[in-house]
Amino acid sequence: MKSTDLTISELTRFGPKAIRETEEVGIRGITRNGKSVAFLVSRAVMESILETMELQKNSKVMAQVRAHKAGKLAFTPLGDEES
């Protein structure tokens, strides 16, 4: 698998291209001296992260998630669903 990490020098030289590519791959690490120091995150990934954080703040939603994981949540069919 090709690494999506960029060095700071590469980001400086290829900024616009790096941003376009990040839109496709979602997240890219930025490294300095071989260590990750920052990330480029696409808008789609960031929106997903923010939506998840909003859901996690809702105690009723999280109770349902915990019940589902524990196998204590029963689902009800919604009627005539077409496949």
Alpha-carbon distances, residue 31 vs 3, 4, 22, 68 (angstroms): 12, 11, 15, 39
Tokens standing for 52? 């998840």
- Are 10 and 18 in contact, with CB atoms under 8 Å apart? yes
pLDDT interval class at 83 (50, 70, 90): low
pLDDT at 78: 85
> For the segment 33-65, what is each residue's pLDDT rounded down to a tens digit?
999 999 999 999 999 999 999 999 999 999 999
Q: Write down the domain spans for the chain.
A: 6-43
